[in-house]
């Protein structure tokens, strides 16, 4: 029985662990695909088209939006970002799941799209705000004003936890990853994600009739 692929949305405030968990999922199951966003901004040194982003012109991006080929999109600091629809639908038809590492706004748009019934959304919370602050600082990548901005934004982001199907508190990375795998494995087995199930039931009934 061929399983229909699903859309797994992971969201969290910066520093709570969604990107790390996304990478762990991709390493755990090589059949999963990561939704590479399209953007109108110029590539940065070392970035490869199709790996970090799909780099497109502004007219190209706007054309995709007009044709309904973006599952979600937003303008950030003068550049557009969005999730192309066609690769996701192709993966779904092939029985492959797609992981989205996006914020709550992108998650809202995908849940409001035509693919909403195939979405599983998970919000990752930090164990405390103090720990969230510590994790941001331990990266050693951001200036103080950037960290302050991320912390200020986190309150708004956390307020959207109730919009998600599942909420995990990332107090222990390995345990949270196991919980995430449990969610994914259970969702994969949902009756409505197994399109071959009615035919299988008919074959069982045919065996009864032949007895």
> Tell me: the pLDDT tens digits for 31-68?
999 999 999 999 989 999 998 899 999 999 999 999 99
Residue 141 has pLDDT above 80, yes or no: no
- Distances in whole angstroms, Cα of residue 62 to Cα of each of 46, 74, 83, 87, 105: 26, 11, 13, 18, 19
The alpha carbon dihedral of 109, 6, 162, 172 has a sign of negative
Listed range (29-38, 70-79, 165-174) with the worst mean pLDDT: 70-79
> Can you list the alpha helix ranges (DSSP code H) found in 9-66?
18-28, 58-66
Identify the top-confidence range among 12-21, 101-110, 174-183: 174-183
For 83-97, b where at least 16 C-beta lie within 10 A, e where not — what string? bbbeebbebbeebbb
Reading the block at residue 201, the tokens are 């039931």
pLDDT score recorded for residue 195: 85
Q: What is the mean pLDDT of the segment spanning 93-99?
A: 94
Task: Give residue 1's pLDDT band: very low, low, confident or very high (50, 70, 90).
Answer: low
Percentage of the chain beyond pLDDT 70 is 99
Domain boundaries, the chain: 7-35+97-210
Asked whether the beta carbons of 53 and 37 are under 8 A apart, the reply is yes
User: How does strand 38-39 pair with strand 79-84?
Assistant: antiparallel
Task: Give backbone dihedrals phi and psi of 65, rounded to 5 degrees, phi first.
Answer: -65, -45
Residue 77 has pLDDT above 90, yes or no: no
- How far apart (Å, rounded) are the C-alpha atoms in residues 7 and 33? 10
Q: Is 11 exposed, middle or buried (0-12, 13-18, 19+ CB in 10 A)?
A: buried
Asked whether the beta carbons of 13 and 133 are under 8 A apart, the reply is no
Residue 76 has pLDDT above 70, yes or no: yes
Using alpha carbons only, how large is the chain's radius of gyration in Å?
19
- How far apart (Å, rounded) are the C-alpha atoms in residues 51 and 35? 10
Homologous superfamily of 7-35+97-210: P-loop containing nucleotide triphosphate hydrolases (3.40.50.300)
Asked whether the beta carbons of 36 and 50 are under 8 A apart, the reply is yes
pLDDT score recorded for residue 169: 97
Asked whether the beta carbons of 193 and 3 are under 8 A apart, the reply is yes
Listed range (14-18, 61-65, 163-167, 169-173) with the worst mean pLDDT: 14-18
Give the count of alpha carbons within 13 A of 86, CB side only. 5
């Amino acid at each position: 029985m061929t399983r229909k692929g699903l859309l797994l949305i992971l969201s969290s405030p910066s520093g709570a662990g969604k990107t790390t968990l996304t990478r762990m999922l991709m390493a755990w199951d090589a059949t999963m695909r990561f939704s590479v966003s399209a953007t109108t901004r110029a590539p940065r040194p070392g970035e490869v088209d199709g790996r970090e982003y799909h780099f497109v012109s502004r007219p190209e991006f706007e054309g995709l939006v007009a044709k309904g080929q973006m599952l979600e999109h937003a303008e950030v600091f003068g550049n557009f970002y969005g999730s192309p629809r066609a690769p996701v639908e192709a993966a779904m038809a092939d029985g492959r799941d797609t992981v989205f590492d996006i914020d709550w706004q992108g998650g809202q748009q995908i849940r409001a799209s035509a693919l909403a019934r195939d979405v599983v959304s998970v919000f990752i919370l930090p164990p405390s705000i103090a720990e969230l602050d510590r994790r941001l600082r331990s990266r050693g990548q951001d200036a103080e004003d950037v960290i302050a901005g991320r912390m200020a934004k986190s309150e708004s982001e956390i307020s959207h936890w109730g919009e998600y199907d599942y909420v995990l508190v990332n107090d222990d990375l390995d345990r949270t990853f196991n919980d995430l795998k449990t969610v994914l494995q259970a969702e994969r087995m949902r009756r409505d994600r197994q399109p071959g199930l009615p035919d299988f039931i008919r074959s069982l009934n045919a065996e009864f009739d032949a007895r």
